[in-house]
Structure 1
Amino acid sequence: MTAPLSFSTLPPLWLQIAITGAWIGMLGLLAEWLHRYTSVGSEVVRKVVHIGAGNVILLAWWLQVPVWLGIGASVVFSTIAFLSYRLPILPGINGVGRNSLGTFFYAVSIGLLVAWFWTIQQPHYAAIGVLVMTWGDGLAALVGQRFGKHPYKLWDMQKSWEGSLTMAIVSGVVSLLILLAVRGNIWQTWVVALAVAIVATGLEAFSKFGIDNLTVPLGSATLCFILCELLLPG
C-alpha cells in the first residue's frame, strides 16, 4: 500500500469540509463572475471550472477525507449538475437544455473513483483518473478551439489534431508525475504513463454528449491500476 499525502496530524472533519467547500465555492463564484461581467465565451467559463474543480481530488487525497464524504459530495454535485440542465442553476457552467451531460458525468466519475480507490487505499489512481480528465480534456478543448488548424471528424464530431496532441501530452505528464511521486523513477512508470496517455486520448476522441467526462477518468484510472498491478513491483 502506498503512503498517502497527508498532514502529520490530520485536521478535524469540519476543517476538511470547510477547505474543500471553500475551493468549490470560489470556483462557482468565479464562473458566475466570468459569465456576468466578462466577454469570455461560455465554453471558456466551463473549462475554467472544469480544470479548477478537478483539482479537489488532490485536496481530498492530501487531507485523507473519508470515503463517505467524497461519495456524498459527488451525489450532491451530481444532483445539482443534473438539475441545472432543466433549471437556471449555475448558468455560467450549464445552459438550460444543453445537449450534453458532461458536468453531471464529471461529478459522477469523481464519486465512483473515490468509492473504488479510497476503499482499497490506493487514492493515487483516483487522482490520475480525475486529473487526466481535468487537465487533459480541459486543455485539449481550449487548445483545439484556439489553435486547431488541422481538423478531423469522428462520426459527427469535429476534432483537431492540435487538441488531441494536447490531450495525449497532458495525460501522459499527469500520469507520469503522480506515478513518479508514488512509485519512483523506474521504467515501468514511463510505460504505464504512455499507455494511459494513448488510451485517454482515444476515449476523449470517440466519446459523445459529454460522456468523455465518465469514460476518460474511469478508463484511465482502471488501465493505470491494472498495468501497475501487472508491471510494478510491490
Structure 2
Amino acid sequence: MLILIPGLTSIPPLWLQITIVAVWVLLILLLSWVVSRFATDDSEIVRKIVHIGTGNVILLAWWLDIPAEVGITASILASIVTLLSYRLPILPGINSVGRQSLGTFFYAVSFGILVAWFWHLQQPQYAAIGIMVMTWGDGLAALVGQRFGQHKYKVFGVNKSWEGSLTMTLASYMVSSLILLGIQGNIWQIWVVSLAVAIAATGLEAVSLLGIDNLTVPLGSASLAFVLMQLLSAN
C-alpha cells in the first residue's frame, strides 16, 4: 500500500526510491557523527540516534513501495557490515570493537526477514509494526532506563529498570495502535492486539542477552500482531 504525497500519482522509479532511503540514512549517520563530537562521554545517545533513525527506513520502504528484493539485499549488506564492525572500527560510536552484543547485527537481520515475509503477503504494516516497536520501544526504553531508572530488576543477570520497561510498553502500544489504525480504522481488535503486542514486546526486550532482543522483539511483535488480527477479524 503506497501513501502518496499530494501531487504524486504513481510509484517513484526504483533509482529515486533508493536515493531517498540512502539520503535518509546518510543524514542519520551525519547527525550521529555531529552528536558524537559533543557527547563523547555518552556513546549510548549516538547508538540510539542511529537505532531510531535507521529503523524508520521501514516506513520509507512501505510508503515508497520499495521491492522486497531491494530491502532484503540492503539487510544482507548491512548485516555483513555490522559483523565486520565488531572487529574493525567501521562504525565507531555505534559498535565498539569487541563489544559483547550482536544487537546491531540482529537488527539488520530482522529487517530483511520481516520484509521478505510481509512484502510477500502484501501486508507490510506488520513488518512496520515489528521494526517500529523495536525502533521506538527499545530505543526510548534504553534512554529512559539509563537516565531515570531508579527501580531495578534483573533477568538472567541483565540489569533492567521498571521505568524503562514501562516506557517500552507504552511506546510499543502507541506504535502498534497508530499503524493499525492507519490501515483498518478504529475497531476494537486494534486496541486488544496492540496491548498484547506491547506486553509481549516488553517481555522479549527484558531478555536481551547478547542483543538477541533486536531479533526477538521485531519478529515476535510482527508475528503476534499478524496472527491475532487474523484470528480476531475472522470472528
For the residue of structure 2 that corresponds to 1:209, the secondary structure is helix
For the residue of structure 2 that corresponds to 1:159, the secondary structure is strand
Distance 2:9 2:102 in 1: 40
Shift of 1:25: 1.1
Gaps of 5+ in 2: none
Checking the alignment, whether the CA contact within 8 Å between 1:147 and 1:162 is kept in structure 2 is yes
Checking the alignment, whether the CA contact within 8 Å between 2:168 and 2:202 is kept in structure 1 is yes
For the residue of structure 1 that corresponds to 2:170, the secondary structure is helix
C-alpha root-mean-square deviation of aligned residues, in Å? 1.3
Distance 1:185 1:31 in 2: 37
Aligned to 2:105: 104
Partner deviation per Cα, 1:139-172 (whole Å, 9 max, x = no partner)? 0000000000111111210000000000000000
For the residue of structure 2 that corresponds to 1:153, the secondary structure is strand
Distance 2:39 2:197 in 1: 36
Checking the alignment, whether the CA contact within 8 Å between 2:144 and 2:167 is kept in structure 1 is yes
Checking the alignment, whether the CA contact within 8 Å between 2:158 and 2:208 is kept in structure 1 is no
Matched, 1:213 2:214: yes
Aligned to 1:228: 229
Aligned to 1:122: 123
Shift of 1:39: 3.4
Distance 2:223 2:62 in 1: 18
Distance 1:91 1:134 in 2: 20
Checking the alignment, whether the CA contact within 8 Å between 1:141 and 1:163 is kept in structure 2 is yes
Distance 2:207 2:106 in 1: 16
Partner deviation per Cα, 1:55-85 (whole Å, 9 max, x = no partner)? 0000000000001000011011111111000
> Which structure 2 residues correspond to residues 55-204 of structure 1 after superposition, within 5 A?
55-204=56-205
Shift of 1:180: 0.7
* Paired amino acid for 1:133: M
Distance 1:40 1:63 in 2: 38
Distance 1:227 1:38 in 2: 42
Distance 1:30 1:81 in 2: 19
TM-score by length of 2: 0.95
Checking the alignment, whether the CA contact within 8 Å between 1:4 and 1:123 is kept in structure 2 is no
Distance 1:192 1:34 in 2: 37
Checking the alignment, whether the CA contact within 8 Å between 1:34 and 1:40 is kept in structure 2 is no
Distance 2:229 2:215 in 1: 21
* Paired amino acid for 1:13: L
Distance 1:13 1:106 in 2: 24
Q: Among all aligned residue pairs of Structure 1 and Structure 2, give the percentage whose two residues are the same amino acid.
A: 65
Runs of 4+ in 1 over 3 A off after TM superposition: 36-40
Aligned to 2:3: 5
Distance 1:153 1:135 in 2: 22
